[in-house]
C-alpha cells in the first residue's frame, strides 16, 4: 500500500480530535477491494448502514473528506479502537456503539484477509472490549402510553391532513408490529394484508418474513393507503396541458398506488418518492416535537412492543414475533421497570 500516515496519541497537543493525521492523498486500489469484499456478503440495507458507520469512524479518525476506500483502515490498531470506544461511550447508545465498532472490526478483518494487516495487529484489535454499561444504560427507552397517545393525537389534529395520515400510519407500523425502521421503510404494498392483519417484509439477511399487526394499527394504515389511492387517481385524471409548457403550465408527475407503503410528501401534501430509512427517523423526530414529548427513536417502538408482548404472552412467543434467533436477544428487549415488577409480586396469593 502506497502513502504514509502518522498515528498520533489521543492526548497529544494539537491533535484536534483526530486519531490519525492524513499526510498523503493517494492509496492503491487494494483498500477499494477490501471494502467491496467486506460489504459483498451483506444485504443492501445492511451495506448502507455499515457505510454510514464507517463514515462516522473515518470522521473520528480525521478523514472526513476522504472516500471510504481511501481511508487507511489497515493502520487502525487496538489503541486507536480503544480511543474510539472511549469517545463514543458517552455519545452513543450501546447498540449504536456496538454497530460502529462492528464496522471497524469488519474492515480490519478484511484487511487481515487481504494481507494488509498482521495477525498480531488484528487479534489485538479484535480483543478490545465494549464498555460495560450500567443497568438499563444504553438500552433505549420504553415509550409510555401517554407519549404514544400524544403523538397520535398530534397526527389527528394536524392541519396538514395528508401529513397527519402518513405519520399516523408510520406510528401504527412501528408500534403495532414492532418492526425495525428499515423494515418499515421497505414495506411494499403488495406484501401488506390488512384483512389478515399481517405482512411480509425484508428482514436482516435480505430474506422476507411474516410479521403481524395489532388490530388498532390496521385502520390508520388503511386511511393512509386510501389517500395514496385518491392522489394516484387524481394524477391519472389531471387535465391535459395544451400549448407551450412552462414552469407553471406543465403536467405533474404521475403518482403510483403501488410501491412502498411509506412516502415522502411535498409541503402541499402531494405524494413524492419513497420515504426511506433516514426519512423514518426524521419524521418521528418532528412528530415528537409537535406532540411536545421527548424524542423517542424508531427502535424504541420495537422495545416497547416487545416489552408489552412479553408481559402478556411470554418470552418464547415474543421471540417468534420479533424474529430473533436467540431468546437471549429477546430478553434484552424487556424493559419492565422495578415498580411494575413490585406490583406483580404484590398480587401473588397463597
Please name each of the domains of the chain with its CATH number.
5-126 (no CATH), 145-235+254-333 (1.10.443.10)
pLDDT at 165: 97
pLDDT at 4: 41
pLDDT at 10: 40
pLDDT at 163: 96
Cell of 121: 495487529
Distance, in Å, from the CA atom of 266 to the CA atom of 162, rounded to the nearest integer, reads: 10
pLDDT at 14: 42
**Residue that has been written with the C-alpha cell 492503491 in this structure:** 28
How many CA atoms, within 13 angstroms, populate the side-chain half-sphere of residue 10? 13
pLDDT at 12: 39
Question: Which segments of the chain are extended strands (E)?
Answer: 5-7, 20-22, 192-193, 198-202, 208-212, 263-265, 271-274
Per DSSP, the residues of 93-131 read -HHHHHHHHHHHHHHHHHHHHTTSS-HHHHHHHHTPPPP
Distance, in Å, from the CA atom of 254 to the CA atom of 256, rounded to the nearest integer, reads: 6
Q: Are 234 and 257 in contact (CB under 8 A)?
A: no
Residues of the chain with pLDDT under 70: 1-29, 133-139, 239-251, 337-341, 343-344
Distance, in Å, from the CA atom of 264 to the CA atom of 242, rounded to the nearest integer, reads: 29
Q: Kindly tell me the burial class for residue 200, based on how many C-beta atoms sit within 10 Å of its own C-beta (0-12, 13-18, 19 or more).
A: middle
Per DSSP, the residues of 38-68 read HHTTS-HHHHHHHHHHHHHHHHHHT-TTS-G
Amino acid at each position: 500500500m502506497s502513502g504514509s500516515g502518522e498515528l498520533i496519541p489521543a492526548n497529544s497537543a494539537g491533535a484536534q480530535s483526530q486519531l490519525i493525521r492524513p499526510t498523503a492523498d493517494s492509496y492503491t486500489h487494494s483498500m477499494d477491494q477490501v471494502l467491496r469484499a467486506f460489504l459483498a456478503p451483506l444485504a443492501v440495507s445492511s451495506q448502507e448502514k455499515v457505510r454510514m458507520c464507517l463514515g462516522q469512524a473515518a470522521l473520528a479518525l480525521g478523514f472526513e473528506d476522504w472516500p471510504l476506500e481511501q481511508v487507511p483502515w489497515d493502520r487502525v490498531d487496538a489503541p486507536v479502537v480503544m480511543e474510539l470506544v472511549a469517545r463514543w461511550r458517552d455519545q452513543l447508545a450501546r447498540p449504536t456503539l456496538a454497530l460502529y465498532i462492528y464496522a471497524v472490526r469488519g474492515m480490519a478483518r478484511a484487511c487481515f484477509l487481504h494481507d494488509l494487516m498482521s495477525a498480531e495487529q488484528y487479534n489485538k484489535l479484535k480483543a478490545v472490549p465494549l464498555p460495560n454499561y450500567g443497568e438499563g444504560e444504553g438500552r433505549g427507552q420504553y415509550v409510555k402510553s401517554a407519549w404514544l397517545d400524544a403523538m397520535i393525537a398530534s397526527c389527528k389534529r394536524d392541519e396538514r391532513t395528508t401529513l397527519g395520515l402518513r405519520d399516523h400510519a408510520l406510528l401504527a407500523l412501528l408500534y403495532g408490529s414492532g418492526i425495525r425502521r428499515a423494515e418499515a421503510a421497505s414495506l411494499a404494498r403488495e406484501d401488506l394484508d390488512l384483512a389478515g392483519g399481517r405482512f411480509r417484509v425484508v428482514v436482516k439477511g435480505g430474506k422476507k418474513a411474516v410479521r403481524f399487526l395489532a388490530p388498532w394499527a390496521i385502520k390508520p394504515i388503511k386511511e393512509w393507503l386510501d389517500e395514496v389511492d385518491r392522489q394516484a387517481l387524481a394524477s391519472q385524471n389531471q387535465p391535459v396541458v395544451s400549448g407551450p409548457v412552462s414552469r407553471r403550465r406543465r403536467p405533474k408527475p404521475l403518482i403510483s398506488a403501488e410501491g412502498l407503503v411509506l412516502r415522502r410528501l411535498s409541503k402541499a401534501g402531494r405524494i413524492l418518492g419513497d420515504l426511506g430509512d433516514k426519512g423514518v427517523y426524521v419524521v418521528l423526530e418532528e412528530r415528537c416535537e409537535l406532540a411536545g414529548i421527548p424524542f423517542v427513536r424508531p427502535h424504541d417502538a420495537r422495545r416497547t412492543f416487545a416489552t408489552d408482548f412479553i408481559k402478556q404472552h411470554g418470552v418464547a412467543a415474543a421471540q417468534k414475533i420479533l424474529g430473533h434467533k436467540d431468546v437471549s436477544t429477546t430478553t434484552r428487549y424487556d424493559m419492565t421497570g422495578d415498580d411494575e415488577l413490585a406490583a406483580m409480586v404484590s398480587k401473588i396469593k397463597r
